[in-house]
Amino acid sequence: MLDEKLQEKIAAVVVSEGLELVHIEFKQGRKPFLRIYIDKPAGINHEDCKLVSDQVSVLLDVEDPIASSYILEVSSPGLERPLFRESDFKRFIGRRAKVRTKTEIYGRKSFNGKIAHAADGVVAITESNQSFEIPIASIEKANLQIEL
């Protein structure tokens, strides 16, 4: 886990380029990696990723927060973008999402439907004309789904 101050510095780099920081993921193991997901309303391109990667590389060289060698990856969140914050759910109201909860809610842990609304720490997913209100804090994983 990266410390909060370093995450804030990475976020500042991303925001200074007019981009949105979607998520920072750091995994240790045989091949440690630091993955930074960025986006913007019109979508990102290779140049956006390279620009952020170059700037974050300099920041990490100065801060030196990771003792071993690691891979730095800057990328788009993709078509099945992960959803983490209430603002993510609000942005994608009307789109399909798959939501997995940490514990059972309504007798189940998996929901697959349209995002109806998000407010006050709760997201509503409409599935087969039934609405399920799910506390965002109870969500283990949520992703947009490709609509064909």
51-110 residue pLDDT tens: 999 999 998 888 777 777 888 999 999 999 999 999 999 999 999 999 999 999 999 999
Q: Which fold has domain 4-75?
A: GMP Synthetase; Chain A, domain 3 (3.30.300)
Boundaries of every domain in the chain: 4-75, 86-144
- Cβ atoms < 10 Å from Cβ of 96: 18
Going from the C-alpha of 112 to that of each of 5, 25, 88, 109, 115, the distances in angstroms are 35, 24, 16, 10, 9
CA distance 137 to 123: 10
CA distance 84 to 77: 12
Going from the C-alpha of 135 to that of each of 63, 86, 114, 121, 140, the distances in angstroms are 36, 10, 16, 6, 11
CA distance 92 to 136: 15
pLDDT over threshold 90, residue 4: no
Q: How confident is the model at residue 1 (pLDDT cuts 50, 70, 90)?
A: low
Return the CATH number of 86-144, one of 2.30.30.100, 3.40.50.620, 1.10.10.10, 1.10.3860.10.
2.30.30.100
